[in-house]
């Protein structure tokens, strides 16, 4: 099975790297020619454009930064979609948009999979990230071998679009956790607590989380470089807010988060790293929320292993 990968950015490049590292016959394309050249030097085939990748491959994976980019690539690929072709969308995008694209692909005779990832760039780099897959069961079983090269835990969630809805929700939760950790660390510093002890106290408690174990370390080291930018965070929280609005759910925290993120972008730039949100509180208090002994970049120390399907409770 020949696999095409379009979008070699922070996440896509790492996912494509896992496919290449595991011997998958891979064609890659990106608007950045240097990224494509790097993959070609490592044994991948360079794709000239999105249309050619779809024409030449059995499966085409897209991992793109925005709904606009997804729509543009789909327009290029569609003339070459037909029976036997599978499109896998790994971007975090609007569920309605991906359903619309999937319907177009299926109408042309192809198959579609909605399969965003969750778990951070450091886990995408080692094939240990988690993947949600939305598609018919038959399609899922066809693409599962490809998914298990890129991710450790693969969850079949149901129909196309379900994955994107769940992923937007998880990113919303991660963002609110980040913002609450910024406040918690700052208050502890103001109260005279040792921030190294504070980190361990949170990690050993009911307040612990994946976000704490990753982003708090980057905040405390001062690097503030989690490979996830504020524009992407705003997109995800905005999609979650839109979902709530569409279903008449009156949220209180989400609008406040959007306002805080907007302020962060105004201060540090639209594409500033998301964990720079701590600097709003540093500026307000005059304190440095840092501590010795924390890493400046995240490294996944979990050994790489072939992924597997996660069972769902109550499902036969």
Whether the per-residue pLDDT at 315 is higher than 90: the answer is no
What pLDDT does residue 283 have? 98
| Average of per-residue pLDDT across 89-116 | 93
| Average of per-residue pLDDT across 301-312 | 92
Whether the per-residue pLDDT at 66 is higher than 90: the answer is no
Residue pLDDT, tens place only, 180-216: 999 999 999 999 999 999 999 999 999 999 999 999 9
Handedness of CA 157, 160, 165, 170 (dihedral sign): positive
What pLDDT does residue 279 have? 98
Structure pTM? 0.90
What pLDDT does residue 302 have? 87
Q: What percent of the chain has pLDDT over 70?
A: 100
Which among 113, 110, 111, 105 is positioned nearest to 161, based on CA atoms? 113
Binned at pLDDT 50, 70 and 90, residue 93 comes out as: confident
Whether the per-residue pLDDT at 40 is higher than 80: the answer is yes
What pLDDT does residue 43 have? 97
What pLDDT does residue 65 have? 82
What pLDDT does residue 151 have? 97
Residue pLDDT, tens place only, 110-161: 999 999 999 888 898 899 999 999 999 999 999 999 999 999 999 999 999 9
Domains of the chain: 2-160+302-309 (3.40.50.720), 165-285 (1.10.1040.10)
Cα–Cα distance measured from residue 60 to residue 44, given in angstroms and rounded to the nearest whole number: 14
Place of tokens 């379009």: 6
Distances (CA, A) of 252 to 25, 238, 258, 259, 278: 48, 13, 11, 12, 22
Which among 149, 24, 147, 249 is positioned nearest to 157, based on CA atoms? 147
For the CA atoms of 77, 81, 84, 87, the dihedral, rounded to the nearest 10 degrees, stands at: 40
Residue pLDDT, tens place only, 214-234: 999 999 999 999 989 999 899
Binned at pLDDT 50, 70 and 90, residue 91 comes out as: confident
What pLDDT does residue 92 have? 73
Give the burial string for 220-238 (b: 16+ CB within 10 Å, else e): bbebbebbbbbbbbbbbbb
What pLDDT does residue 179 have? 98
């Amino acid at each position: 099975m020949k696999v095409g990968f379009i979008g070699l950015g922070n996440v896509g490049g790492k996912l494509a790297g896992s496919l290449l590292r595991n011997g998958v016959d891979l064609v890659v394309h990106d608007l950045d020619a240097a990224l494509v050249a790097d993959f070609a030097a490592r044994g991948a085939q360079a794709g000239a454009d999105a249309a050619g990748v779809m024409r030449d491959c059995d499966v085409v994976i897209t991992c793109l930064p925005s709904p606009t980019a997804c729509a543009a690539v789909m327009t290029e690929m569609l003339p070459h979609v037909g029976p036997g072709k599978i499109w896998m969308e790994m971007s975090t995008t609007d569920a309605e948009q991906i359903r619309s694209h999937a319907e177009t692909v299926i109408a042309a005779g192809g198959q579609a999979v909605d399969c965003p990832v969750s778990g951070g760039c450091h886990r995408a780099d080692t094939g240990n990230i988690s993947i949600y897959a939305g598609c018919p069961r038959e399609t899922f079983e066809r693409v599962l071998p490809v998914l298990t090269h890129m991710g450790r835990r693969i969850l079949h969630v149901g129909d196309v679009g379900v994955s994107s809805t769940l992923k937007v929700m998880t990113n919303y939760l991660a963002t609110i956790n980040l913002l609450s950790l910024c406040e918690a660390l700052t208050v502890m510093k103001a109260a005279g607590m040792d921030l190294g002890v504070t980190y361990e106290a949170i990690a050993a408690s009911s307040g612990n989380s994946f976000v704490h174990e990753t982003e708090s370390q980057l905040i405390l080291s001062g690097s503030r470089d989690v490979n996830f930018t504020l524009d992407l965070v705003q997109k995800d929280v905005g999609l979650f807010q839109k979902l709530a609005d569409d279903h008449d759910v009156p949220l209180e925290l989400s609008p406040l988060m959007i306002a805080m993120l907007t302020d962060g972008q105004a201060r540090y730039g639209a594409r500033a790293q998301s964990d720079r949100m701590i600097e709003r509180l540093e500026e307000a208090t005059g304190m440095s929320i840092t501590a010795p002994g924390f890493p400046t970049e995240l490294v996944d120390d979990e050994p790489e292993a072939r992924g597997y399907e996660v069972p769902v409770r109550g499902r036969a």
